[in-house]
Chains A and B, each alone.
Chain A
C-alpha cells in the first residue's frame, strides 16, 4: 500500500512488535503524532513531562521487558533533551530506538527554527544513528534500527526524520520482526581451555555483570557456581542476575561493594568475569586489581576483552550459549578451604555493619523489603541511596532492579520507574531516590499520576547531596561546597500538588505506617523519609585505591 512517511513509521513500529512508546510532541513530529492518534488502539503513547523523562522511561521499559524501548521527540530542544537519556542507555547497553523529527530537507543546515544537528550530537552516544533523506528507505532504516539496537551488545539507535520525509508517500508492505543475529558461541577448543583453567583453580570467583541479564543467563551462572563451588560477586549492573537467596551470593563488588564480595574478589585465584567491562568504579587501581587471580573474561563484545583489565583468557560469545557449552565440559568441584575463608569474610562483613541504629538507611531498606515481593520493580536514582539500595536490597529476580550504572545519571529514577512500571504491566514499583536526584526529575510525578501507576517514591531525604558530601568529608577536609541544599521543599505538599499522596517518616514507626498505607494504594505515593546527613556509604575503596585502602568504618 502507498502511505505517508509518518504512517510508515507507525506501521513499522507496530510490525517490529512495539506497542508502547514514550515521547513528547512538537512541530516536526506532528504528523507522527497524528498517526499515533489514529492508531492508538495498536500503540500506546505515554507523554512525559520532559523528553529526558521519556528517554529514561523507554530505557526502564527496555530493562524490565528485555524489548527495545522506543522514544519519540521533536527536533531541536526535543532532541537535545533526549541526549542524557540516550547516553545513559548507551553506557548501560540498553536496547532503545529514538525517533526524532527534524526540519524539512531544504531547511537543513540553514540554522532553521528548532534545527540542530541531531545525528552529529548523538553520534558518540549511540550504537548507530541515521538521518533519513529518502522516504523509500524509511521502513528499512527503522527495521535496521531495531535489529542493531537488540543484536549482540545492545544499545540505543537514533533515527532522525525530516518533516518532508514524514509527508511524502511510498509503497509499504509489512516485514517480519527484525532478526537478531545468531547468538555467537566460542569454539569447543576454547571452551575446553577455559574448563582446564577452571579445573586448576582452588579459589574461583564468578564476577557477574549486566551482560548476564541481557543474555538471560542467570540460571547458567547459578549452575556454574553450584558446579564449581564458587562464590558470585556482581557489578552494580549485574545485581539482579542471580537471586540473593543463592548460597554463593556475595553481592556487589567495586568501590562501594560489600566487604565479603570485595575481599573474595581480591583473594581469588581465578575470576570468571561474565558480561562485565571492568569499569574504573568496579576495579579501583587497575595495576593492583586482583593480583592473585587469572582472569577469564566472557563477553559478546570482542572490544571489551583486554580493554580495561588484561584477560588471561578471553571468550567471545553470547553468555548464555557460552556458559551452557562450558557447563558440559566441567566436572564438579568442591573448595572447602576457600568456602571457609569466605565464611570468615562474611563474618567480618557482619561485624562492620552498623549496629543498634535507628533509621539507618539499611534499616529503612529492610523495612521496605517487608512490604515488597520478588516481582516488585525497584528503581534508584544516583547517590548514596543508590549504593545503599545496591548493597542491602535483596533482589530475587532478573530485570527487577533498575539503576543508572555507567553514566551515573541523577534524574534517571522517575523516568526509569515509570517505564519499568509500565513494562511490568503496571506492577508494583518502588523508586529509591535522594532529595537531590528527585529534584531533577520530580516533574514526572505528573506522568505517574496521569497514568495512575502503583509507584511508591521513597525519598532518602538527608537534605544534602550526600554522595558528593561524603567525598568532601573524606577527601576535602569537610569543606561542604554547595552540597548542603538548605531547601524548603515540602515533598508531602508537593505530592499533593501533583495529585499524588504524600507521607512523612521521621522515625521507624512513621515509616512503617507510611509504607503500610502506600502499599495498600494503587496510585503514586511519595514518602519523605528523613535521614541523617552525616551517614556515609561503607565500605569504600577510594578512587584509584585497592582492597588495602578499603574504609570499613
Chain B
C-alpha cells in the first residue's frame, strides 16, 4: 500500500462546532483519520489539533488544502516526521497478584512510566511516549491481563523555535 501515516498540526478557532466541522470534512471527503487530539492553546481564542491521518501523496495534499479552506482553520501544516516531537499518553489498568506485582512495577520504571493507582488486585499505570513505546508496554501488560485502557491521540510539535508556519494560509 502507498498509504502512509502523516501528522497535521492545525490551529483552529476555539469555539463550539469546530471539531464537527473538521471531522465532517474528513468523513464527507472520504479521508481516513487515525487519531485526533484537540485542546485550547495559550491563546484562549485558538485550539490546536494534532491529526494523524493516512493516505497517499494525493490524499495528503488534498487534506491539507481542504482543511486550509475552512474558515475556522487558521493554520495547517504537515509536520515532518523526522523533525517533530510526537507524544502519546496511555492510562492502563492491569490485573495484579502478589506474585506479579513487583515485576509489573519494575517494568513501569523501565518504560519511564508512573504507577498512579495501586490496589490489591490492580494497578493503573501512566506512560507517555511515542506510539511504539506504548504499543510495547501494552503488549507486555497483556501478559498479565488488561482490565481497561485509555490512550489519547498524539500531540506533536516541531523541533526548533519555529511555530506552525504561515506558508499554507490559503484564500477561502
Partners in one complex: yes
Q: Which A residues are within 8 Å of any B CB, using their own CB? A: 119-120, 123-124, 127-128, 131, 148, 151-153, 181, 184, 300-303, 306-307, 316
Q: Which of B17, B24, B58, B172 has the most CB of A within 10 A?
A: B172
Q: Main SS of chain B's interface residues?
A: helix
* Inter-subunit contact B61/A306 (CB<8 Å): yes
- A-chain residues with CB within 8 Å of residue B24 when the two chains form the complex: 123-124
Q: Which residues of A contact B61 (CB under 8 A)?
A: 306
Q: List, sorted by A's number, 9 A–B pairs whose CB atoms are closer than 8 Å.
A: A123-B21, A153-B171, A153-B172, A300-B171, A301-B171, A302-B171, A303-B68, A303-B170, A307-B62
Interface string of B1-25 (1 = CB under 8 A from A): 0000000000000000100110010
CB distance from B59 to the nearest CB of A (A): 11
Q: Which of A123, A302, A306 contacts B68 (CB 8 A)?
A: A302
Q: How far is the CA of A307 from the CA of B64 in the complex (A)?
A: 12
* Docked CA distance A442–B171 (Å): 39
Task: Assess A151 versus B17: contact at CB under 8 Å? Given A124-B24, A303-B66.
Answer: no
| Given known A-B contacts A303-B66, A306-B58, A124 and B172 have beta carbons under 8 A apart | no
**With a CB–CB cut-off of 8 A, which chain B residues contact A131?**
17
Complex Cα distance A307/B31, Å?
14
State how many angstroms separate the Cβ of B138 from the closest Cβ of chain A: 36
Residue of A124, A181, A316 most packed against chain B (CB within 10 A) = A124
- Chain B residues at the A interface, C-beta cutoff of 8 Å: 17, 20-21, 24, 28, 58, 61-62, 65-66, 68-72, 170-172
Is B171's CB under 8 angstroms from A128's CB?
A: no
Q: Which of B17, B21, B28, B69 contacts A303 (CB 8 A)?
A: B69
Which of A148, A303, A306, A316 interacts with B71 by CB under 8 Å?
Answer: A148
A120 to B171, CA, bound (A): 24
Interface centre among B21, B62, B171 (most CB of A within 10 A): B171
- A303-B66, A306-B58 are known contacts. Are A181 and B171 too (CB-CB below 8 A)? yes
**With contacts A127-B71, A148-B71 known, is A302 near B170, CB below 8 A?**
yes
Known contacts A124-B28, A148-B71; A303 and B172 CB within 8 A of each other: no
Cβ contacts under 8 Å, B171 to chain A: 151-153, 181, 184, 300-302
Closest CB of chain A to B106's CB: distance in Å? 50
Is B17 a contact of A119 with CB atoms below 8 Å?
A: yes
B17 to chain A, nearest CB (A): 7
Complex Cα gap A119–B72 (Å):
14
B69 CB → nearest A CB, Å: 6
B65 A302 Cβ-Cβ under 8 A: yes
Alpha-carbon distance between A131 and B172 when the two chains are bound, in angstroms = 20
With a cutoff of 8 Å between Cβ atoms, the chain B residues found around residue A151 in the complex are 171-172
Complex Cα distance, B71 from A352, in Å, reads 48
- Closest chain B residue to A119 by CB distance? B17
Considering only CB atoms, which chain B residue lies closest to A128 in the complex? B71
A301 touches B62 (CB 8 A): no
- Report how far A152 CA is from B70 CA in the complex, Å: 12
